Amino acid sequence: MADFFKALGFVALVMLTTLAVGAALVMRSLIRANRVAPGRRSAAPLSWLASPRLAARLHRRLRRAVAASDFAVGTIAPSAVPLCEVAGELVQRAVSLDDWLVATLSLHPEARRHRLAQLTGEVREIEVSAARLHQLSSDWRRCLDQATEATAVPLPDLHQRLDAVEAALRELPAPAAAIPASAPAPARTAVSRPSR
């Protein structure tokens, strides 16, 4: 009977440990999902992931703007160094605005309303900048693709090149032993000698 309780205790301990690790992993992923910029800690409460309050909506808009700029310079035009620098500045500004949004939580409701109205305009500017950055990166990529297509020299098909080399080799006079057995012997034509 004592062994049964020990086994039951062990199973319960394993289950509790699994649940605790799972809960910690879920919490960690939620905290990372709540960040405005990847790798930058945010003091925004986790309730802002779904809250209908204005500060939470502005926080989510900043997250989307940063994600759009990261996509633009990371995927569409990763070699565009000037655009990468602008994207870095945009991320800095978005993180700073997010800190201001968190700070509004401690303000008096009237002052908070006024400050959120100011921050709404600044968030809108970040969104417009992110949209322009995305458009510029698309234009950058299109120009690079057009330049590559204009300078690219089309290469003939590999099989065609090999066929041409094989045909040239067959036209050369060669000893009978040098011609592979699988290759058909070249046709000999009678050469008429001119009469004297």
In this prediction, residue 123 carries a pLDDT of 96
Place of tokens 């310079």: 73
Rounded to the nearest integer, the mean pLDDT of the chain is 83
Distance CA 32, CA 41 (A): 8
- 3-state SS, 30-85, equals HHHHCCCCCCCCCCCCHHHHCCCCHHHHHHHHHHHHHHHHHHHHHHHCCCCHHHHH
In this prediction, residue 151 carries a pLDDT of 61
If phi > 0 it is left, if psi is from -120 to 50 it is alpha, else beta; for residue 39 that is left
Give the residue among 102, 93, 86 at the shortest CA–CA distance from 122. Answer: 93
- Give the H/E segment covering residue 139: helix 109-151
Asked if 79 and 141 touch (Cβ cutoff 8 Å), the reply is no
The pLDDT of residue 194 is above 80: no
pLDDT in tens, 17-71: 999 999 889 888 888 888 999 888 889 999 999 999 999 999 999 999 999 998 8
This prediction's pTM: 0.67
**Token digits for 143?**
């120009």
In this prediction, residue 187 carries a pLDDT of 53
In this prediction, residue 53 carries a pLDDT of 94
Asked if 71 and 84 touch (Cβ cutoff 8 Å), the reply is no
The residue type of 179 is: I
The pLDDT of residue 74 is above 70: yes
Q: How many CB atoms lie within 10 A of CB 65?
A: 27
Residues 6 or more apart whose CB falls under 8 angstroms from that of 186 comprise: 170, 171
Mean pLDDT of 141-153: 72
Asked if 53 and 113 touch (Cβ cutoff 8 Å), the reply is no
In this prediction, residue 113 carries a pLDDT of 94
